[in-house]
Amino acid sequence: MMKKIQKRQCLWIGIAVVLTMSFFSILATVTLTKVWGKYEEIVFDERTKIDIQTAHEYKVLRELNHKFANEDSACSVSLLRKMRDAEFHLNILRDLGFVKDNLLYCSTRLGILQAPIEREAFTINNPNSDIYFSPGTIVANIDVEVKKMAVQIGNFQAFLSLPENLYIEFGWLTHATVLFVNDSYELLHGSAEVIPRPIAEIGESASWLDGGEYVSQYCSDDQVCTIVEIKIAEYFHHFPEILIALISTLIILSILVVFAVIVFHNKYSMLSGQLRRGINSRRIICHYQPLYNLRTKTYDSVEVLCRWTNEDGELVRPDIFIGQVEKNEQTSELTETVFRKAVHELKSAGLFGKIRFAINFFPSDISNGTAKRLIEDLLPEQHASLVIVELTEQELGHINSVVEAILMIRQEDSSVAIDDFGTGYSNFQHLEKLSVDALKIDRSFIFGIDKNALRSKLVGSIIDIAKTLNLKVIAEGVEHDAQLQCLLALGIHYSQGFLHAKPMPVGELKHFLGQHRTRPD
Ligand SMILES: Nc1nc2c(ncn2[C@@H]2O[C@@H]3COP(=O)(O)O[C@H]4[C@@H](O)[C@H](n5cnc6c(=O)[nH]c(N)nc65)O[C@@H]4COP(=O)(O)O[C@H]3[C@H]2O)c(=O)[nH]1
């Protein structure tokens, strides 16, 4: 037994831990992605600024082309002056050069060359514009070889001089802007470590977690993309306090969830244990809710509703413990206790024989003969008609097994009512076969009946079926006069609900019935 409990508790704790971990990882991922998203935004903003700036500077190159379209191959002094003037206003493009047939004739830094320098063709072209990028990026500048991206528009070219620290630079964040050409890409600026994904694969913008890295790629047009990579381990290395906060939250959350699961589990296992020890006339309390007969304008019957007092002295409603009673297989025990107590209380209050009372039975009570036995044991023959056996519609699944039992109960002279009618699957044939006396329409149909034409139609058709089968109809959960008026117009027999009275102990019932008519004059 002990082993079984331990095993079960371990299972619950395991479930709790898995739940916490999953919940926490979702929460942490969402939160951190939002935080990283902020850095990503800063980089993308910078990138946009550069885009605007370069677009403006490309215009200068275009204007030079326009003005010096017919310049002969040798670079003139006036052209060089114009190029130097233009460069003065440029920030990102540097060292303007004049090129023809892949030969550099002059540049703002080198001046007019004695012999033109050969330049590799700039073949990477952005199809949306007239800009060409240098493929090799190694270019001779005076007598040094510089590795830089260069652009060419017409006869003019310039180096892209993007400050290395243009973007925020942290050890844990790297970024790059690349130009996609067919299946490969060229780094425009940023870190060569960054590996972009083909646009076709990820769309124009996307963020993803990639083996310990948070990566975000944004493409401003169909070829130029900026990629931001955050190395998660490095990030936590820089911000250990965030890691500590996350781990502490995870630990606290796990403790709370494990605690809650244990409390919940114990409560239910306690409920089960307490019910096993505590279904007796001391712990079971009967409350009585009067039913109003609309034909005779009398309160001629009541429904017995049980409550249970747990070991802490708290009154527990049936919805909470009935399921556990079924699991504990204590249904007959409960029905018998309620039935005995109700008969005893009604007798003591002097109400026995004056009103009929409805008792809720379990289907097993009907099929195993408990209902019939209790009626015979507790009610003298002439009083069997006082009891109304209530059976929930949803529990009438195995109809054949209950048909016979219901017939036997009716032979005792007791009535049978189908409770919560409308929530199950009974059809006309079922009802005909069951041969019951009354239908109790579930309160979900009565709620808002005065305002909802469809509900009123549904209740109307239930009443029509009941009339055809000669059954009484009881409306449950009647709370307002408007509902009652509507039900009256539809031809209902009984009304039960807070409008008339709430379920009450027998003492209050006696007082209530003393103030209302229980028999027609
Ligand atoms: N909102 C609202 N509610 C109203 C109104 N009028 C009555 N009620 C509530 O509706 C329930 C009616 O009982 P039920 O459908 O047989 O539904 C019962 C019945 O199925 C079951 N039950 C109660 N006592 C026993 C019992 O002794 N044996 C068995 N087997 N089941 C029982 O527990 C269910 C719940 O019982 P309760 O909590 O006492 O809840 C009762 C009652 O308090 C109203 O105007 N508005």
Task: Report d(CA 220, CA 118) in Å as an integer.
Answer: 33
The residue among 191 and 314 whose pLDDT is bigger is: 314
pLDDT score for 361: 94
Burial 92-111 (b: 16+ CB within 10 A, else e): bbbbbbbbeeeebbbbbebe
Sorting pLDDT into bands at 50, 70 and 90, what band is 6?
A: low
* Residue 186, H or E segment: strand 184-190
pLDDT score for 271: 86
Average pLDDT over residues 327-337: 94
Examine the pLDDT at 137 and tell me if it is beyond 70.
Answer: no
User: How close is the Cα of 391 to the center of ligand 1, in Å?
Assistant: 12
Please give the full DSSP string across 72-129, using - where no structure is assigned: -SSPPHHHHHHHHHHHHT-SSEEEEEEEETTEEEEETTTEEEEEEEE-----EE-TTS
| pTM, two decimal places | 0.59
Which residue minimizes the CA distance to atom 1 of ligand 1?
477
Examine the pLDDT at 204 and tell me if it is beyond 80.
Answer: no
pLDDT score for 179: 80
- Least confident range from 84-98, 205-219, 389-403: namely 389-403
Ligand 1 proximity of 402 Cβ (cutoff 6 Å) = no
Q: Where are the alpha helices (DSSP H) in 194-330?
A: 199-202, 232-238, 240-278, 318-327
Average pLDDT over residues 340-369: 93
Share of the chain above pLDDT 70, in %: 89
- Least confident range from 2-11, 382-391, 396-405: namely 2-11
Ligand 1 proximity of 326 Cβ (cutoff 6 Å) = no
Ligand 1 proximity of 40 Cβ (cutoff 6 Å) = no
Q: Which atom of ligand 1 is nearest to the CA of 498?
A: 45
Examine the pLDDT at 334 and tell me if it is beyond 70.
Answer: yes
Ligand 1 proximity of 521 Cβ (cutoff 6 Å) = no
Which residue minimizes the CA distance to atom 33 of ligand 1?
318
Average pLDDT over residues 153-173: 76
- Give the dihedral of Cα atoms 40, 45, 49, 51; nearest 10 deg: 60
The residue among 210 and 429 whose pLDDT is bigger is: 210
Sorting pLDDT into bands at 50, 70 and 90, what band is 206?
A: confident
Examine the pLDDT at 318 and tell me if it is beyond 70.
Answer: yes
Examine the pLDDT at 192 and tell me if it is beyond 50.
Answer: yes
Ligand 1 proximity of 444 Cβ (cutoff 6 Å) = no
Ligand 1 proximity of 339 Cβ (cutoff 6 Å) = no
User: How close is the Cα of 500 to the center of ligand 1, in Å?
Assistant: 15
Which residue minimizes the CA distance to atom 19 of ligand 1?
360
Examine the pLDDT at 251 and tell me if it is beyond 80.
Answer: yes
pLDDT score for 446: 94
Residues 358, 302 contacting (CB under 8 angstroms) = yes
Sorting pLDDT into bands at 50, 70 and 90, what band is 435?
A: confident
Ligand 1 proximity of 479 Cβ (cutoff 6 Å) = yes
Average pLDDT over residues 504-516: 96
Q: How far is CA 413 from the centre of its chain?
A: 52
Ligand 1 proximity of 389 Cβ (cutoff 6 Å) = no
User: How close is the Cα of 304 to the center of ligand 1, in Å?
Assistant: 9
Ligand 1 proximity of 305 Cβ (cutoff 6 Å) = yes
The most confident of the ranges 115-119, 150-154, 259-263, 510-514 is 510-514
Which residue minimizes the CA distance to atom 9 of ligand 1?
477
Sorting pLDDT into bands at 50, 70 and 90, what band is 470?
A: very high
- Least confident range from 76-85, 270-279, 306-315, 398-407: namely 398-407
Ligand 1 proximity of 322 Cβ (cutoff 6 Å) = yes
Torsion 342-346-351-354 (CA) sign: positive
Task: Report d(CA 253, CA 23) in Å as an integer.
Answer: 10
pLDDT score for 2: 44
pLDDT score for 486: 94
Examine the pLDDT at 138 and tell me if it is beyond 70.
Answer: no
Closest among 426, 398, 453 to 442, alpha carbons compared:
426
Examine the pLDDT at 48 and tell me if it is beyond 60.
Answer: yes
Ligand 1 proximity of 116 Cβ (cutoff 6 Å) = no
Average pLDDT over residues 76-99: 89
Examine the pLDDT at 246 and tell me if it is beyond 60.
Answer: yes
The residue among 49 and 514 whose pLDDT is bigger is: 514
Examine the pLDDT at 139 and tell me if it is beyond 60.
Answer: no
Sorting pLDDT into bands at 50, 70 and 90, what band is 282?
A: very high
Average pLDDT over residues 429-442: 87
Ligand 1 proximity of 395 Cβ (cutoff 6 Å) = no
Examine the pLDDT at 85 and tell me if it is beyond 90.
Answer: yes
pLDDT score for 108: 92
pLDDT score for 68: 81
Which residue minimizes the CA distance to atom 44 of ligand 1?
477
Examine the pLDDT at 386 and tell me if it is beyond 90.
Answer: yes
Ligand 1 proximity of 320 Cβ (cutoff 6 Å) = no
Residues 151, 199 contacting (CB under 8 angstroms) = no
Average pLDDT over residues 90-95: 86
Examine the pLDDT at 141 and tell me if it is beyond 70.
Answer: no
Average pLDDT over residues 65-93: 84
Sorting pLDDT into bands at 50, 70 and 90, what band is 397?
A: low
